[in-house]
């Protein structure tokens, strides 16, 4: 048998072994385990702020760790820094390329980043008298779908070129390239200890990566279309994904499998974005049908909806103090709910 044939046979054997090992620990699922749990209360949130200022579709938003400021990105070619309490705009940063797909706030509050169809991640300093570009991170060969700062020196990116990368902002070079997806990478989420991250891609897979050694440690199947959104559960032992297949799923890292799905026969719009409440009990998922649905993460039931946008909800975010949820839309508005 040729070597390639031998390798293919070994690969098939390993896949069977992995499936069997997953099955062996699948003694229940999350919904069954939570059957006896009191249901989450019916959640009815009100719009507290409607942030008006963008002139075109909003594609991304990200909270600052101070729980007050947030950055939003629109294809009107601007990043806006908002004070969510007053509703005032603190900064409007013009973008070199208006085809923006992601924005990120550094944990320090000193920097923000943006990127999109220009294939670059641009990092800005907010603390100079006039906001300045400090670096253009240019090496991806496909669009930038997501960026997240580890700190003021390091940033992770996900790209349509099927890779994720860890960059040294000062040198502008990629420190590590994460290679394993076979479809455009659409989203990433960093673990709180910053040793690992998870990514979702158009190959319908989610992957867990070790930041230090660059290795893909685990691959999670189940979705049947592009994974557009991903977020860690607060313990870091599980994560939630949202997909064009109109469902969200929770995967447990230590069981190495899907433990519950969030779907409804009447929902036939793709999931664009998601965010979790502070305890992890509530999932806020933005959909193409203009709504943001609220799911009980443990029981898998839909317990509320945020209606109010006049177009697709493209981004969702809950600040670290859990005091509200922000939705951003193609209708050009951001709304703050609690």
Q: Which residues bind another protein (CB under 8 A)?
A: 3-4, 7-8, 10-11, 14-15, 17-18, 21-22, 24-30, 33-34, 37, 40-41, 43, 45, 48-49, 68, 84-85, 180, 215-219, 233-235, 237-238, 252, 254-257, 259, 277-282, 297-298, 318, 321-325, 336, 338
Minimum gap (Å) between residue 326 Cβ and another protein: 10
Minimum Å distance from CB 144 to another protein?
25
C-alpha dist (Å) from residue 117 to 94, 99, 137, 145, 176: 16, 5, 13, 8, 22
Pairing mode, if any, of strands 185-190 and 196-201? antiparallel
CB 164 → another protein: shortest distance, Å? 15
Of 26 and 175, nearer to another protein (C-beta) is: 26
Q: How many CB atoms lie within 10 A of CB 107?
A: 18
Distance separating alpha carbons of residues 28 and 238, to the nearest angstrom: 16
Whole-angstrom Cα distance, residue 205 to residue 219?
Answer: 7
- Beta carbon nearer to another protein, 132 or 212: 212
Kindly state the DSSP code that residue 13 receives in the 8-state scheme. H
93 vs 336 by CB, closer to another protein: 336
In the 8-state DSSP scheme, what is residue 304? E
φ and ψ of 108, to 5 deg: -70, -20
In the bound state with another protein, the residue whose beta carbon lies nearer, of 78 and 207, is 207
| Main-chain dihedrals φ then ψ at residue 144, nearest 5 degrees | -90, 115
How far is residue 193's CA from residue 195's CA, in Å, rounded to a whole number? Answer: 6
Minimal distance, residue 159 CB to another protein, in Å: 20
Q: How far is the CB of 100 from another protein (least distance, A)?
A: 26
Q: Among residues 45 and 227, whose Cβ is nearest to another protein?
A: 45
Burial class (CB in 10 A: 0-12, 13-18, 19+), 318: buried
What's the min distance (Å) between Cβ of 309 and another protein? 18
Nearer to another protein, 25 or 153 (CB): 25
């Amino acid at each position: 048998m040729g070597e390639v044939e031998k390798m293919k046979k070994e690969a098939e054997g390993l896949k069977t072994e992995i499936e069997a090992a997953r099955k062996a620990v699948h003694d229940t699922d999350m919904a069954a385990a939570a059957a006896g749990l009191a249901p989450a209360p019916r959640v009815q949130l009100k719009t507290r702020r409607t942030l008006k200022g963008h002139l075109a579709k909003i594609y991304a938003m990200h909270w600052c760790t101070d729980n007050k400021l947030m950055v939003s990105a629109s294809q009107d070619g601007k990043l806006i820094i908002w004070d969510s309490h007053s509703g005032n705009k603190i900064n409007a940063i013009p973008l070199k390329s208006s085809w923006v797909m992601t924005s990120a706030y550094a944990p320090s509050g000193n920097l923000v980043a943006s990127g999109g169809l220009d294939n670059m991640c641009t990092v800005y300093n907010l603390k100079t008298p006039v906001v300045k570009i400090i670096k253009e991170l240019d090496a991806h060969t496909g669009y930038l779908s997501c960026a997240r700062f580890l700190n003021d020196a390091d940033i992770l990116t996900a790209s349509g070129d099927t890779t994720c990368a860890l960059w040294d902002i000062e040198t502008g070079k990629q420190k590590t390239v994460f290679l394993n997806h076979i479809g455009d990478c659409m989203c990433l989420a960093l673990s709180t200890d910053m040793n690992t991250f998870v990514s979702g891609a158009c190959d319908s897979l989610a992957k867990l990566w070790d930041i230090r050694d660059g290795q893909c440690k685990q691959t999670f199947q189940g979705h049947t279309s592009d994974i557009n959104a991903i977020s860690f559960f607060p313990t870091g032992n599980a994560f939630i994904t949202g997909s064009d297949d109109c469902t969200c799923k929770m995967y447990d890292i230590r069981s190495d499998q899907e433990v519950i799905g969030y779907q409804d026969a009447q929902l036939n719009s793709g999931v664009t974005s998601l965010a979790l409440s502070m305890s992890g009990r509530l999932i806020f998922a933005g959909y193409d049908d203009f709504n943001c649905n609220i799911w009980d993460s443990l029981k898998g039931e839909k317990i509320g909806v945020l209606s109010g946008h006049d177009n697709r909800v493209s981004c969702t975010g809950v600040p670290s103090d859990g005091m509200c949820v922000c939705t951003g839309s193609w209708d050009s508005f951001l709304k703050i709910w609690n």
